Structure formats: structure tokens, C-alpha cells
Structure 1
């Protein structure tokens, strides 16, 4: 079949419980839904059992758990039969650690002499002398002295590699060849024969093991000393996990010590890591790429240019019918007023920026003041303050070593004196990192754009507000040094890379992984790509961003649900309704707090959830409350898992490193009682009140995602309702048989509104719009975008625009601030003021959602939506 152009992607999470072969029978369903390309989670070999694939252990192998290379070929063959393609998520920034990563194990065995010693971002000469030429491995559950005494650290033999190794639980660490030879000599082992098959079960082998046990006996002083000496001979240093933040001398993914960063700026590393990916592209097994965490790379612009050049060069070697330019998307968080660097040769972002734009559009700005006042009664300050506090905490815990190393390098660069001390430099640097306004700058990549200078200048100005005046001069010197390209030295390049490798993970860990769980003003604003400090934005801002995207990245992905989201896209739209005055959320929340406070006083014999956590729980219940009775059996466990993670990520009264299980249980018990006890009818009644409006928000969000400039991305199963919570909850299996059965019934949009809770109404909308995109790809790829400004009494409740090209046009009408439109249980509105509300549309139009409606020229009155769900997708009549 002729390959389809890129019109819509479907993200699938492949793992051992959902393999390539599991996806095969679903391909016709995806095609009928209107999907042109499957967008696959990482498929290179990852840590055995990994459910996500972001912990690659072998860049040159398709993961056996997911089906291996032959399974991938079967999948792609089936996709090609439907004219569909495959986009692959790749992870160039880091790899997973462990015995299955042969590159890493080779580094541990041979140290700096390893062929892969420069593949990983390791500092072989850190400030800690004991780590010179060694890799810190902070994976012990207790201090090393205790481990040596307990005997949990052992030496055994690996018959697969014919080598001796250290073992600690399930962990395996190779011995250096030199120490291994000495150890074997000490136990009088026959050289080169130790591990022939069956040897260790023979009498000589048993005698060997007995001598080894005696030599390293943890119960004897000499045994512990010999084990300690053996450890000192290795190219790594085993340590207690709690010292990771202080001493780590290799770059991690954020602060995750199971993921080690790659030196992707080195051409040999780039080639080794992408060899299989390029072969898959050359062969025609993939059609494009999604690049994970591009801001983790030392030089993202260089990487993107190199990747684009290699893909373009391989085009002529691909099957003839597949020689169009490969799209590739980058995962990047864009902060307020930040744009994707235009010189990067990428197709666009993965769409978190669109999630933010549509989210802001669907909140009522009038709700900001009363809801902020509510939060100020129970919560902790404004978001900026909460985030700054979290950054300080992370600098003092997760990133202590990185901060100290960067400070030391700056100290070496600046002249020392009584007025420019290490302490002064550290204080100024800390202030700069605390307020840095974007994930990172790109000076280390040769960047000299105005955006980089503006970011540094803004950070300098804000840092000056929190530093005493006598430290402003050192702050200015640091900022000038970072931004001054005339200082072309190796030392400055290293400082820039370390600075940019620190701002990105610091922003992420302090923001979306900490502050997002502390600042609960309105949780629909706390998602990946969003800034909770912003509450709402007008339709004009939404139109402006759509026009900018069409101008610069017309095929960028658009998403509202991902494997990373904090809560499902339809859970967020429930919370959006709370921003409207008619929802009476501040009064409702205060009433709920009073009712549950009295219940807590009657039943509590231990710690009780603080007010802010109860408020967080109320919103969590609203966003995730099941629609169907069949979902209730799994809900308590899902709620427990989520709240445990949320409380520990917040890190205020419990944490991952120091859990307070009594407080956690108090919160979980409170949530369970709200969801199943006497208070359950109160929440259910409130949800029944806002449910239809929330559903309209969801449909509006889906319609805007599918029709705005860009390529809509549908996260697995989200063609129906999505009230999931953060991972792993958002990666639960999808009930595809039920989805297929609904699609087969072919119930049209208007009819599906009556039973909207079954999800068919959303699926029908997706099918209708994506089918039109597939039938008329040129309209969406290269059309003019025309904002249409509604007029009349309900003008603020609608956003509208046209997409127009020589091949046709479409007209989009999407509702917002939906609660005051008073939709009924069938999502119908009967607001008389719709008749006086008009859209300045020209020409003749036919609705694809409301089959009996045609419009013949002149302004379009929205009166035709009375008695219907108030959104529409129309096409121009010939």
C-alpha cells in the first residue's frame, strides 16, 4: 500500500507484557481510527523486565522482551500493509546500569584502559582523591564497614565470562584482571581452568571454593582485611547509597543513580549508540525518531545537526517508496516565552508546549483570585517561592557533588583575594541556579542567541534580589564569564557544560518532581511542560502560539497525554471546571475540609493529614474518580500507590530516603475513607454536577489538539476517557477489545453524546477528525491559519479558527468555560444566548459532527448548537 503521510501518531508503550506481536491484531483498529504512524516507546535492549525502556543496556540490539528484531519486522510488515509507518523513541542521553550493560561492565573491569572509558560522562580526576581513576558505585544498603562485617559482599565465579566477580545481593561487579589473577593465585586456583563446565561441582572445585571462603571470611579480622584490600584494587569504589549526592563522579539522568549519562558529543560514542538505529532506518523499519531529553546532551544543536545529516544521507538507501525526509522530534520543556531554537534542524517538540497552551486556554482567569486566596489559607506561598526552596534542598542533597565541583572550577578561574572568596563565589552561583528561568542555556554548544543572553541576564537580575549588595559584583563576574564567547578556553567549556548539566536536572527535580507535589493551588496546572504559577491565558495567546508553530514547526507533535503526565488528560479537564465561578470550588473545598476535620477528630489516634495534603487529596479524588462501577475494585490500590509517591516526591513530611509510614498511612486512610465511606456521596454529587462540563472540556481539548497546526499525538487508549494518575498508573493495560467493539458499532458523535460516560463520544470525535486529516493531509500541513473572533453574549465561551488551503478548508468551533453553559447529562446546551453569538465564518460549510447541519454564507450563528453538544468541526462545501 502507498505509505501514508504523517498525519497522526499513536504512542504505544512496548514491554514484556505488551510485545510487538500483541500490537499486530490492533493495527487495523488504529488505521480505522485515523492513525498514520505508530510512535513507539524505546525498543533497544533495556534492563531485563523494564516496563518503559528508558534504561537501555545495549544500543545494538532490539529488546528480546519486546519481541526482538524479528518481532519488529513482523510489526512493520503489518503496518506497511495498512500504509502506516513507525516512529521510534531513542535515548541518547543515558544508559541503564547493571551486569547487562557490557560497556559499563567493561569500564568497571578495566577502568580508564577500557575501550568504553570515554563513552560515559565520568570525571576520572574529581576533587575527592580516593576517586582518582575510579568510579563511585553508591549502591550499598549500609556503610561499607557494616557490609564487610555482615558478609553480604562476596566473591564468586561467573562461568559465562570465565571471570571472578563481586556479588552483593543481585548486583554483580567484575574484578580487575590484575586483582583477579592475584586472588586466584592466593587460593591456588589452576590458571585458565577455574570455570570449565562442572569444575566448581568437582572435588577440586569445592576445595577451591572452601579456600576462597576461608580467605575472605567476614567473621575474621584477616578475612575482612583481605576483602577490603581486594576492593581497594578495583577501578571502582563501592559506597553507601546515601553518599551519592556528595561524591558521585559521573553524570546521571537527573539524580537517578541507575542511569549513567553518555558522552554523546563524542563522534565515536554517537556512532556506537546509533549504529542499529541507522540500520533500522536504512532498511525501512522505522520512518522517524523521537529524541528523549535533548537538554541532557552537552551540545544539543550539534547532536541534532549530526542526526539530521545522517538521516538525510541514508534516505537514498531506503526502499524507494520511503525516501521522504525523516521527521524527528525532540523532548524539550519550553518555559514561558521560550521558543525552540530555530537553527536546530528538527521537526518540532514532542508537544508538551501545546499541552500548556491548551491547558491555559481552558481555565477561567476569573477563578485565579478566589482560588489563590483559598490556597493561601492552607498552602505554602506562591509557586516561585516553593520552587526556589525546592532548588535549595536539591542543591544540598541530590546535587551536592555537582554544585561543589562547579564551584571549585569557578574558583580556579577567578583571581583569589579577600573580597572574592570561595564562599562568595558559591553563594552567588547558588543564587543564580535558584532563579535560572529556563531548563538550560546553550553556550557550551556554541550558542550565541539572544535567548541565551536574556536568560542569563534575567537570572542575574533576579539573583541580585536575593543576594546582599556586596555579592552583586561576583554575581556579575560569573554571569559575564558564562556569556563571554571571547573566553575560548578548555576550562570555560567545561564550566559551561557542568553549568548546563546542572540547571536542567535541578529545574526538573525541584519543579515537576517536587514543587508540583507541594504547590496545589489547582492541580490541573501542575503537569509536565506547565508552569503552575500561570493560571489562565486568553484565546488570543492560543491563536498566537498556533500561528508561530505553523510558521516554524508545522509538523511538531501536539499532545495532551503522555507516559510522563502527572494526571490523565480528562482528569485535568475536571479540575479545569473548578476555575469557574459556578463550580463554587473555594466554598466547596472549605466545606469539605470542615466536614472531614470533624471526622478526623473523632477517629484519629495518631498523625493526621495536614490541611494542604487533604486539599491535594480532594483534587486527586476529583481528577481520578472512576466513571464505572467495574473500576472501583482497583481504585483503592491505585490511590494508595499514587499518594505514597506524591507524598514522598513532595518530601515535606515523608520522603523516599526517610519515609514516615505512619503519616503516609494517615493520608492513605483519609483518602480511602473519602472514596468509600460516608463522605463518598458528597464527592459523587459534586462530580455529577461538574461531569458534563468536564466532558465538554475534554472534547474541546481533543478537537483543538487534532486541528491546531502540528501533528496530533494520541497516547495509547486515550481515544476514550483517561482519568489516570502519574506513572506507572498512566501505563496500565488498555482494554482494546472494548475500544474495538465501540468503534465497530459506528455510533455517530451526536448519538454518542447521550451515553458519553462509555467513551464512544470521544472516540467518535477522534475518528471523525483524524479521518479527515488522513483524507486531506495537505490541508493540515500547509494551510493558512485564520483565527476567528466570536461575537455576542457567549463570545468568551468559544474559540474558533479556520484552516484553509487550495485543497479545501475546515472550521473549528471549540467551547471553553463550559460549566456556565449548563450542559445536561447528554452534553446538550440550551442557552438561548447562543442565537446572538456568532462566528465570522465566510463561505458554505457542512458539519461532520452534527450531520444535518449546513451553513450557507455570512456570519455563523451558534444557535444551531442549541440542543446539541456545543462544539463542531465543519468542512467547506464545494
Structure 2
């Protein structure tokens, strides 16, 4: 693997000399990879560079849609098959460099953590694992997470009978296409009490089926809501929820009268095509859930969770939280401790809230699991997938060997471009297109386009947080929210790098240079926006707080600046590497 500029002297436990990428999937498993090892060894390959192999979405061809980082993907083979591959490599003195995805997971019914969040909302022990804004600017999503997975508007999908209420695997669920959405157990009562009076008339008050249903309804009534906050209530909900689900499934399977009653109710809730009113019950039930099903188009404005770029079904993980970090890296640490893995490639490092903090914690834990003393130990070989701007260097404090080599490839490709023809090409290009935009102008325009067409919700949410902070500042409270929003867009469009790395009250020299360039671009808005707004945003970005500012407001400002430092990240590569190809332009040498 070609690394970018090495960030520090090479003191790593093992440095790959020649890597060979293997894309593992259900058609190319561990056994097939092991069969190639002798041949690769003869070629002089020092390390296999393997695609992610933790459990991913079914039949994934790339492995980046992880659903469970604590299990080896069974589609690739067993744990024994993986161990055999690692053993074969070790026998030939070869290493295994593995691609890992700490930034995000797939929104899938194969993801047990995510299913818990859909079922319990904020009451789920896994709610804090994911980067969700449970109280976004749009109040219709207060306490809910948006699920923009519908292929058409919600009403059309609902009345087209594409949302099916079912009972399976101990719970009520909504099925749509390949998606499965568990219901909040607190809302089971709406299904079990429907037509209950007529069922009682049919069987009698003392019938075992009626007594059982009443018992289930009582469990539901005593179940704490998914909005509870206290630890005691959360634990009580988890305990009672499992009891309820097990009893429901037991009696549904074992009592024909209850099974018939529930099945008939499900048919009623699922409505009749052509009769819009017949879907009212299901609509009401869905409105009670801690998620909102919506058309994929709604994500542009209403998204309230961090995504991998604009991919709606990949949600950001909060690995900056120690609990989430440990839970999501358990199997990885075990495989490294056992000597199966000898190096790591970190996917999309710039998606993380605090990349430097993550990398330091990773190296510290790797030193522990390898039994190496923290001080003076050789670092584990880690490279990061990172797009560097022309004048940008990796932060010196990052404990990595370098980048995966995008910058190196740019330089190598430059060897094949003869700059002597540039002037002639520019003349031909200008005559043919009648366009005179420079490359920086193209990138700026495409950043604005990307923000408007893909990341409107994220930018609006950041602007809302900035407005809330301004309201707490007597010098800034009268600044228009629209001005703040406009300035944010200009700063993101004008930032000459992927992102900045502000995490404490200190702003690095490199970050200051980049932010000053972005602020200079934003000043083109004067006198359209209030100059006070520009000064306020500058103070927030540079953490330049008044001495008399209360500590809680300083903390809020620091949090916002930290969040803002990563907000440009998705728009930069889209604008720089992808979107220009939707226009005719001359790529600079």
C-alpha cells in the first residue's frame, strides 16, 4: 500500500513493504484468499490488504455497510476459516492489513443495535451509540429519528398497502420492501385492545384467552414510555419489555383464539386498497413510534442523524464516547491480541468527531491488548484514508504512519501529464465552452450546489445551533438567523481543505490559516449581511470568548466549534472530486 507522507519516524511494530488488496465477499471467501497466499508470497507480497470483514449487510460486495462489528461476516466463512488464513500468512512471514470502518454502520434489520434504537427510541441503551439529534429544529421530529427509506411519499406508500403490520420473532413489526421496523412495545396496546369488547362478548369474561389478553394489556400499561430518562426506569423498561414480548409470542403461538384475534386485527390495521380511511389505524400507530418513515427525498431538509456523506442508510457512530469505542472494537482487539491482524487502514477518518482523539485512544488500547508498555512501545501500523489539500499536512500529533496514498497517487498521475500543452488546451477549452471559470471557482460553485442539493438539513441544523448560541450573547442576540446561515455556507464553500480539527480551546496554526481563508471568502457577503454576524461567527470558530462569558456558554461555544470543524467534510470531496464531472471543465495539472 502506498502511504502518504509519513507523519513521524517509523517506530511501528511492522511496516508493510508490498501490499495486495483482496476484496472479500460472498463470492470470494477466506478459503479462496488462503488459496492465493503461496502465489502472492512468490510475487514478493509482504501483506494482504483485506476489505472489511466484520458482519455487513447481506451480500455486500464491499463490506463497508457493517451491521455487527463483533462478528466475522458468516458470508465470508467461519472464524476457523479466518484463523486458517491468518495462520497461512504468518507461516510465510506475511502480514494482514485490515480495512476497518469506525465512522458508521448500516441502518438494517441485520443490525441488532439499530433495531433496539428503533424499538426503544431514546430509552434504548444503544441510543447514545449513534449520532442522532433527538431534538432537532423541526419539532415534528422531536423524540424521533427520521427514516427516509420510502421510494415515494408516505401517504402513497401507506395507502398502496406497501407498509405491512406483522407479528414475528416475538414482536409486532412494520415490513416495507426488505426493511423491518419493530414497534415500540408501549404501542402494542393499540393493536391488542382493538375490538376487544366484541371478543369478550364472543368468548366471555372468564375465558382463558380473554384473561391472557388482559394480562398482556396490563403489562403494556405498566411499561415505562420510550421517553423515560432515569436509569431505574430505563432498566425497568428493558426488563418488562422482554417479558411482554416473550409472553405475547408464547400465547400467540399457543392459543388459537388469541392467534385468530391478533391476525384479524392485523388485517384490519393493514387497510383495504382503494379505501383511504381504512388506513387511519395504521397511520395513527406509526405516528406513535420513535421513528418517522418518510420518502428518501425528505432527507435533504429533515435529516437528524449524521450520515456517511449523503447515504441515508449509513449512520454515524459516536466512537468519541469511550463506551461506544470499546463496544465497537471488541472483536478487533481480540484478533490483534492473538496476532491475526498486523496493521489497520482506517476508513473515512474525517467523518469522526475527533479523529486525533480516536487515533490516540486506538494506539493506547492496542498497546494494552498487545501487552506492550504504553511508554516507548512501538506503535501499531495504522494508516488513514484522508484527502489532503495541496498545502495541507497531516496533524503532527496523529499517531499514524501516514495516509492511504491519495496524495501520492495525485503526484504519480502528474508524471503522466505534460504541462507544456496546458496553454493550448485552455484556449481550445475556452473557445469550445465559452466558459472562463477557474478551478477554484468551479469547486466553490459545486460546494454550494452540494450543500443545497445534498446537505441542506445538516447546514440548517448547524445554523440553528449557532443562532441559539448567539441568543445567549448580548452582543450577538439581534443577529439574523438567515445571516448566520448564509455565512456558514460561505465559510464551508470557501474552506480550502476537507475539514479542520478544533477539539480544545486551542486552534492550531494550520487550522487558523484555513479558517482565515474561509472567512475572507465569507466577507464577500458584506454589506448584504450584518458585519456583526461575521465577527460573531469568527469569534466562535476561533474560540475567542469574552472573559466574562459564563463557563456553560463557553462549553456550548466549544462544542459548536468542534461540530462545525467537521461539517464541511462531506461537501468537500463531493465538490472537488465528483460534482465537477457534471460540468465541462479543464482539470488543472
Same fold (TM over 0.5): yes
Which residue matches 2:21?
11
Which stretch shifts more, 88-97 or 353-362?
A: 353-362
CA contact (8 A) 2:146 2:294 kept: yes
The structural deviation recorded for 1:202 is 6.0
Residue by residue, what CA displacement relative to the aligned partner does 1:494-518 show, whole Å, maximum 9, x if unpaired? 3223323320001122222212443
Alignment of 1:601-616 (within 5 A): none
CA contact (8 A) 2:504 2:558 kept: no
Q: Which residue of 1 aligns with 2:190?
A: 182
Of 261-270 and 203-212, deviating more is 203-212
Aligned to 1:708: none
Query: How many angstroms apart in 1 are the aligned matches of 2:529 and 2:123?
Result: 48
Shift of 1:193: 5.4
Pair 1:375 & 2:445 matched: no
**Alpha carbons of 1:171 and 1:360: their partners in 2 closer, same or farther (altered >3 Å)?**
same
Q: CA deviation at 1:83?
A: 1.0
Asked whether 1:512 is paired with 2:577, we answer: yes
What is the CA deviation profile of residues 766-807 of structure 1, one whole-angstrom value per residue up to 9, with x for unaligned ones? xxxxxxxxxxxxxxxxxxxxxxxxxxxxxxxxxxxxxxxxxx
User: Aligned partners of 1:371, 1:289: CA distance in 2, in Å?
Assistant: 42
2:285 to 212, 222, 230: 230
CA displacement at 1:375 relative to structure 2:
2.2
**How do 1:426-825 residues align onto structure 2 when only pairs under 5 Å count?**
426-444=485-503, 448-465=507-524, 467-468=526-527, 471-484=530-543, 486=545, 489-521=554-586, 532=587, 534-535=588-589
- Match of 1:443, SS state, is coil
- Which structure 1 segments of 5+ residues have no match? 522-531, 536-878
Distance (Å, rounded) in 1 between the aligned partners of 2:256 and 2:576 = 58
In the aligned structure 2, how far is the partner of 1:258 from the partner of 1:469?
38
After superposition, the Cα gap between the structure-2 partners of 1:20 and 1:484, relative to the gap in structure 1 and judged at 3 Å, is same
1:106–1:116 contact (8 Å) kept in structure 2: yes
1:378 to partner: Cα distance: 3.5
Are the equivalent residues in 2 in contact too, given 1:460–1:476 (CA < 8 A)?
no
In the superposition, relative to structure 1, how do residues 201 and 369 fare at CA in structure 2: closer, same or farther (>3 Å)? farther
- 2: CA distance, partners of 1:251 / 1:80: 39
- The corresponding residue for 1:280 is 335
Aligned counterpart, 1:91: 101
Equivalent of residue 121 in structure 1, options 131, 140, 150: 131
Cross-structure match for 2:179? 171
Change in Cα spacing, 1:39 to 1:149, as seen in structure 2 (3 Å) is same
The answer as to whether partners of 1:436 and 1:456 remain within 8 angstroms in 2 is yes
Higher RCO (CA < 8 A, seq sep 6+): 2
Instruction: Give the TM-score normalised by the residue count of structure 2.
Output: 0.82
Structure number, greater radius of gyration: 1
1:447: how far off? 5.4
Distance 2:515 2:484 in 1: 16
User: Partners in 1 of 2:191 and 2:477 — Cα distance?
Assistant: 53
Q: Is the 8 A contact 2:483 2:529 kept in 1?
A: no
C-alpha distance in 2, partners of 1:466/1:363? 38
Question: What is the Cα deviation at residue 283 of structure 1?
Answer: 0.8
Preserved contact between residue 215 and residue 223 of structure 1 (Cα < 8 Å):
yes
TM-score, scaled relative to structure 1: 0.56
How far 1:309 moved relative to its partner?
A: 0.7
Deviation at 1:30, TM superposition (A): 1.0
Structure 1 pair 200–353 and aligned structure 2 pair: CA distance change class (3 A): farther
Q: Distance in 1 between matches of 2:476 and 2:267?
A: 57
Residue 12 of structure 1 deviates from its aligned partner by: 1.3
For residues 272 and 446 of structure 1, the distance between their equivalents in structure 2, rounded to whole angstroms, comes to 29
CA, structure 1 residues 421+203, in 2 after alignment: closer, same or farther (shift >3 Å)?
closer
Q: Distance in 2 between matches of 1:336 and 1:44?
A: 34
Distance 1:27 1:201 in 2: 57
Q: 1:378 to 1:496 in 2, by over 3 A?
A: farther
Q: How does 1:140-151 map to 2 (within 5 A)?
A: 140-151=150-161
Give the Cα separation in 1 of the matches to 2:372 and 2:78. Answer: 23
Check the 8 A contact 2:384/2:400 in 1, yes or no. Answer: yes
Return closer, same or farther for 1:447/1:313 CA change in 2, 3 Å cut-off: farther
What is the rounded CA distance, in whole Å, between the counterparts of 1:180 and 1:473 in structure 2? Answer: 53
1:153-193 alpha-carbon deviations (Å, 9 max, x no partner): 1100113xx11101112211000011124313336585555
What secondary structure, in the 3-state scheme, does the structure 1 residue paired with 2:97 have?
strand
SS at match of 1:504: coil
* Match for residue 241 of structure 1 among 265, 283, 296: 296
What is the deviation of 1:419? 7.4
Q: Report the Cα distance in structure 2 between the residues aligned to 1:469 and 1:360, rounded to whole angstroms.
A: 41
Are 1:383 and 1:519, in contact at CA under 8 Å, matched by a contact in 2? no
The structural deviation recorded for 1:146 is: 1.6
Equivalent position of 1:210 in the other structure? 264
1:135 and 1:144, CA in 2 relative to 1: closer, same or farther beyond 3 A? same
CA-CA distance at 1:280 after TM superposition:
0.6
Shift of 1:394: 1.9
Distance change (3 Å), C-alpha of 1:469 and 1:99:
closer
Query: Contact 1:187–1:212 at 8 Å: present in 2 too?
Result: no
